[in-house]
């Protein structure tokens, strides 16, 4: 853990805003610039900042590898799951129009869920990569 | 209902199964899961092949978006055939890897191995199935990234260097491909391969389009390890875990060959570019050099995996050679050799996996006298080796016969001579192994060696059974290959 008081106070102050901004980019991706990938990176940046200042041990207490690992999987499965739902409801793979009664609403819902899947996986993999490189554990495998 | 969606299920099944491996995590559960998925995926590819040969082209539009704008999957007889090769090898490698991975990869990492090999399969199947040039790039990256990781699983520390080198060179290859796609997109405004095939002929004078063809050829040439661009291959195959060597040697380069010829024939087939830029002549030249160089290098190796790796470079030469002839016989020979070589090299690498399991080494010296102690394993090597040389009654003969016939049809007898010379060189390197295995006295420690376990022998002999079966009943494979060759020659319309 770094002993610099300014860094610690400022980063603690900043982290919630970074998280909020990440969520903003995530949910407004369909109206403005943004989307799952950018949001995931910003969201992960908050955790990586925390890890840089307070050490990866504390970061791993906030987000154990079990959690990041499951989010890695959930994101991918959410994305492909939405695609499969398209098939089940009688459309093609990734056809969002069939997800709701109104095709327009379906498209909206579909892209939102897909981007959420992207965001979750990107954030989780960013944090995992950071921990794998910065972690002290002799066995890198613990990070997955 | 499910029949309509088989094209997409072929790709998303291994894609969705890969993350599930991380959830299962336990090595036994993961193994059973991977085998199930690979068999299911094999069944799907059989169904697709049947469907294509009955009804012709299958087109699947993702998300219901119409073609030039949306991504479409397009399966003709050639892609269905290559799908069958990839998923078929996958279906044999997965059960094989049970024992092999247990020996060569620590239990805690087994789930990562299966996750990666399923992702690699996703990428390879995707390259074959997609009808979109950019989507092809995405799948190429999925399969390549997964294979870098797979190679780095090797026990030897050099595996990391080999994987790293493959990563650098492979990324350059993918970048070149991407630049080619960019140039075509800049000049036509479309990424759909079928659409490109309609638009490119009008632009055959454009320098951008010519540059695109050059970038495609070099980029994919690197991926398929065509002669002067093959440097990543020997180390990658040598230091990878046995099951990975089997899978990559039998599928990865074949799919890259497929991609090259899908681009060259389908997009540029109907244009005069192939006359202006002598790509075919260039490929024939490189293929001929690969045949001779690979075979000669193979003779001087002392690691048997390395012998096979260099032999692969020579065999890739045969495939590219066949496909570069612009007559139907040659192209059919190239296509059938994709299939035949997958069977032969797959079974040869499987034998080495069994040797690795029992002897812990695949150095030529350590294999002395093993013919006596591992008779079934070594018999498999013998038969697959004969096929590699091109003995009648094995698949190797079928491909060489057609290749030589194609060369003679064109009146290129020096090429036919080169094929024969390269086969004679194959006799030398295969015989070197056979001699050591059967006629040298065994090392003292080798006397303890027992026959490989049935879990390794069975998949090896299944593949070998296919080597013999398709060598005797050559017409089944050939009919498909000839139909595929006609489709390729017909150009974009297919």
Residues in chain B closer than 8 A to A73 (CB atoms) = 19-20, 22-23
The SS3 assignment for B392 reads coil
pLDDT over 50 (residue B493): no
pLDDT band for position B411 (cuts 50, 70, 90): confident
Q: Do A93 and B15 touch (CB under 8 A)?
A: no
pLDDT at A144: 59
Is B300 part of any domain? yes
The count of structural domains within chain B is 1
A51-107 tens-digit pLDDT = 999 888 889 898 998 899 899 999 999 999 999 988 888 888 888 888 888 888 888
Give pLDDT tens digits for A11-33. Answer: 999 999 999 999 999 998 777 78
| β-bridge partners, B58 | B75
For residues B295, B299, B304, B308, the Cα torsion angle rounded to the nearest 10 degrees is 0
- CA of A14 vs chain B CAs: smallest distance (Å): 33
pLDDT at B203 over 50: yes
Please report, for chain A, the start and end positions of each structural domain, with discontinuous segments joined by +: 5-143
Q: Which of B1, B4, B5 to mutate to test the interface with A (most CBs of A within 10 A)?
A: B5
Parent domain of B477: 281-494
Q: What is the pLDDT of residues B270-299, one digit of tens each?
A: 666 777 778 888 889 999 999 999 999 999
Residues B35 and B117: their CA atoms lie apart, in Å, by 11
Q: Is residue B256 part of a domain?
A: no
Averaged confidence pLDDT in chain A: 88
In angstroms, the CA B265 to CA B76 distance is 14
Q: Mind listing the pLDDT tens digit for each residue in B42-51?
A: 999 999 999 9
Per-residue pLDDT, B494: 42
Domain assignment present for residue B466? The answer is yes
A94 touching chain B per CB within 8 A: yes
pTM: 0.93
Residue B40 counted as domain residue: no
**B122-145 pLDDT, tens digit each:** 999 999 999 999 999 999 999 999
- B347-396 residue pLDDT tens: 999 999 999 998 888 899 888 888 888 999 999 999 999 999 988 888 98
A117 lies within 8 A of chain B by CB? no
Whether B48 maps to a domain, the answer reads no
Smallest CA-to-CA distance from B430 within B355, B370, B316, B348 is with B348
* Secondary structure class of B154 (helix, strand, coil): coil
Rounded mean pLDDT, B176-199: 92
Note whether residue B351 is domain-resident.
yes
Q: What is the interface pTM, i.e. ipTM, of the complex? A: 0.89
| Identity of the highest mean pLDDT range in B56-65, B461-470, B481-490 | B461-470
Question: B308-323 pLDDT, tens per residue?
Answer: 999 999 999 999 998 8
Q: Is A91 left (phi over 0), alpha (psi -120 to 50) or beta?
A: beta
Distance CA B11, CA B144 (A): 16
């Amino acid at each position: 853990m770094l002993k610099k008081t300014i860094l610690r106070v400022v980063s603690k102050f900043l982290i919630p805003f970074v998280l909020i901004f990440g969520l903003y980019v995530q949910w407004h991706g369909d109206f403005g610039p943004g989307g799952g990938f950018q949001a995931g990176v910003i969201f992960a940046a908050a955790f990586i900042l925390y890890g840089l200042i307070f050490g990866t041990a504390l970061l791993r207490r906030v987000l154990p590898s079990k959690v990041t690992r499951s989010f890695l999987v959930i994101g991918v499965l959410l994305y492909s799951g939405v695609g499969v739902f398209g098939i089940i409801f009688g459309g093609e793979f990734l056809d969002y129009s069939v997800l709701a009664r109104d095709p327009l609403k379906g498209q909206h819902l579909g892209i939102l869920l897909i981007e959420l899947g992207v965001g979750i996986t990107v954030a989780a993999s960013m944090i995992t990569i950071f921990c794998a490189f910065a972690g002290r554990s002799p066995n890198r495998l613990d990070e997955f | 209902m499910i029949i309509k969606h088989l094209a997409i299920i072929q790709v998303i099944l291994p894609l969705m199964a890969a993350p599930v491996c991380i959830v299962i995590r336990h090595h036994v559960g993961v193994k059973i899961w991977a085998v199930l998925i690979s068999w299911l995926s094999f069944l799907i590819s059989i169904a697709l092949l049947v469907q294509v040969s009955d009804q012709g082209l299958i087109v699947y539009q993702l998300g219901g978006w119409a073609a030039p704008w949306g991504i479409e999957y397009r399966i003709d007889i050639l892609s269905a055939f290559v799908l069958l090769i990839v998923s078929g090898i996958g279906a044999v490698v997965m059960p094989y890897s049970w024992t092999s991975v247990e020996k060569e990869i620590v239990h805690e990492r087994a789930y990562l191995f299966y996750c990666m090999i399923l992702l690699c399969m996703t990428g390879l199947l995707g390259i074959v199935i997609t009808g979109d040039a950019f989507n092809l790039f995405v799948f190429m990256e999925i399969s390549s990234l997964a294979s870098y990781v797979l190679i780095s699983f090797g026990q030897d520390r050099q595996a990391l260097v080999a994987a790293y080198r493959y990563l650098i060179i492979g990324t350059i290859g993918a970048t070149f491909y991407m630049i080619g796609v960019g140039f075509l997109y800049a000049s036509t405004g479309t990424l759909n391969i079928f659409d490109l095939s309609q638009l490119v002929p009008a632009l055959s004078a454009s320098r951008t389009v010519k540059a695109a063809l050059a970038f495609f050829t070099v980029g994919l040439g690197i991926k398929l390890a065509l002669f002067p661009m093959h440097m990543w291959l020997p180390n990658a195959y040598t230091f990878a875990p046995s099951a990975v060597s089997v899978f990559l040697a039998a599928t990865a380069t074949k799919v890259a060959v497929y991609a090259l010829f899908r681009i060259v024939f389908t997009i540029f087939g109907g244009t005069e570019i192939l006359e202006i830029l002598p790509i075919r002549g260039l490929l024939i030249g490189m293929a001929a050099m690969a045949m001779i160089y690979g075979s000669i290098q193979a003779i001087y190796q002392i690691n048997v995996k390395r012998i096979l790796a260099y032999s692969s470079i020579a065999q890739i030469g045969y495939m590219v050679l066949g496909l570069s002839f612009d007559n139907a016989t040659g192209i059919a020979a190239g296509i059938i050799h994709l299939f035949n070589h997958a069977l032969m090299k797959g079974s040869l690498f499987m034998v080495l996996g069994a040797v690795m399991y029992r002897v812990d080494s695949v150095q030529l010296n350590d294999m002395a006298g093993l013919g006596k102690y591992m008779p079934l394993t070594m018999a498999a090597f013998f038969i697959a080796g004969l096929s590699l040389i091109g003995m009648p009654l094995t698949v190797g003969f079928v491909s060489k016969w057609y290749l030589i016939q194609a060369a003679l049809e064109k009146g290129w007898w020096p090429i036919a001579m080169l094929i024969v010379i390269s086969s004679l060189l194959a006799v030398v390197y295969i015989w070197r192994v056979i001699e050591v295995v059967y006629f040298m006295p065994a090392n003292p420690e080798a006397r303890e060696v027992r026959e490989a376990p049935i879990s390794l022998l069975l998949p090896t002999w299944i593949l070998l059974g296919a080597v013999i079966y398709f060598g005797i009943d050559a017409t089944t494979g050939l009919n498909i290959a000839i139909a595929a060759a006609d489709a390729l020659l017909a150009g974009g319309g297919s």
